[in-house]
Structure 1
Amino acid sequence: MSADDAARPPAWAVEDVHLADPDPAWPGWADAFAAEARALLGASLTEPVLHIGSTAVPGLLAKPIVDLQARAEDPDSAIAAAQAAMAAASWFVVPRELDLRAWRRFVVRADPTGRHRLAHLHLMKPDEPRWDQQLAFRDRLRASPALADEYARLEVAAAARHPHEREAYTAEKSAFVRRVLTSG
């Protein structure tokens, strides 16, 4: 491996935004990835690992990446204790200086080739308000097909405008998310 290869981010970190039709396998994937996360983080987790995000909304198109959230009293310590085992199982911790979201530690489950994300784990402290917000957003989309359809249209438009910029794609959806959270 050359110095250039070592400095280059992993392929999963820079993959394009890709949306997929709803897949009835997503809940099973979520269960499997949640079991992996529980096995790796063990007693550090204070609550069950929950399936969130678009793949947790039946019938909604999504990036085919399962989002999970979990709580730990000290997410940094939990990750430090498990990081080697996590990496061996293709779970990679995104450094704080790259994630820039103080409310979580972000972990990506990559496929065996290292080219694609399969799952995200949002690891939070027990008192983090974002926990309830992410569940509320998921639940409101589950409860309202019209809201889910509106979100799907927004996702398609954002992916078309930002196919190579995951952060811009996510940012474009933030006003909608805020509106949903404040309207319910």
Structure 2
Amino acid sequence: MTETLDQKIERVLKDRIELVPPDPAWPGLFAEEKARLLNTLPEGLIVRVEHYGSTAVPGIWAKPVVDVLVEVADLERARDEAAPILEAQGCDYFWRPQPEGSTPPHYPWFIRRGPGGERTHHIHMTVADSTLWAGLVFRDYLRAHPDAAAEYERLKRRLIADHPGDRVAYTLGKIDFVREIAARAAGS
């Protein structure tokens, strides 16, 4: 039986949320995923690949999921060419919406899983002028400001305690902090 989009969304929203201590393996897991993407996706599709999210910030607890931000030459090509390849490798694929005012309004997003079905990587594909690249500003600010990184870790711990098992509430609870850091970064 084929899974409907609603069933797939319901299934992935049930994935457990946990924070783990910093793992020195995370940069290597990113490098392996980057190599896999460059070796398996069509030539000319990928422009650059970046490690971002909490696993890219040394010293803080994070969900054990490596976030990969991939600049692609064209979103439709990513949708038409990359999605079937990554789905065949077992990735969950979504044409993911972004908040209103973001560019592009949707982008290809993938969840790679380990042998036990646990999330190991989130792969975000977008274009050069996407608002998703602000995630690198956030990453770089936290790398340069350990006090802000520690504050972010405390927020994430509180959100997991306040909203156990609620991925949506966990994610929404971080938005104001991310915006605050963006404002700090713009002012520095």
SS at match of 1:152: helix
The structure with the largest helix share of the pair is: 1
In structure 2, the partner of 1:22 is: 22
> Deviation of residue 47 (structure 1)?
2.3
Percent identity of paired positions between Structure 1 and Structure 2:
35
In structure 2, the partner of 1:55 is: 55
Per-residue CA distance 1:41-86 (angstroms, 9 max, x = gap): 2324342211000000011100000001011122232231133321
Structure 1 gap segments, 5+ residues each? none
In structure 1, the partner of 2:129 is: 127
Q: Hey, what's the Cα distance between the residues in 2 that align with 1:103 and 1:57?
A: 26
Equivalent position to 1:107, from 110, 116, 126? 110
TM-score, length-scaled by structure 2: 0.85
Q: Is the contact made by 2:42 and 2:82 (CA closer than 8 Å) also made in structure 1?
A: no
> Deviation of residue 160 (structure 1)?
1.0
Q: Is the contact made by 2:60 and 2:149 (CA closer than 8 Å) also made in structure 1?
A: yes
TM-score, length-scaled by structure 1: 0.86
In structure 2, the partner of 1:183 is: 184
> Which runs of at least 4 in structure 1 moved beyond 6 Å after TM superposition?
none
Q: Hey, what's the Cα distance between the residues in 1 that align with 2:30 and 2:174?
A: 23
Q: Is the contact made by 1:44 and 1:73 (CA closer than 8 Å) also made in structure 2?
A: yes
The structure with the largest strand share of the pair is: 2
Q: Hey, what's the Cα distance between the residues in 2 that align with 1:13 and 1:109?
A: 14
CA pair 44-121 structure 1, distance change in 2 beyond 3 A? farther
Amino acid at match of 1:127: D
In structure 1, the partner of 2:101 is: none
What is the root-mean-square deviation of aligned Cα atoms in Å? 1.9
How many residues align? The count is: 176
Structure 2 gap segments, 5+ residues each? 99-104
Could you tell which deviates more after superposition, 74-83 or 141-150?
74-83
- Larger relative contact order (CA 8 Å, sep ≥ 6): 1
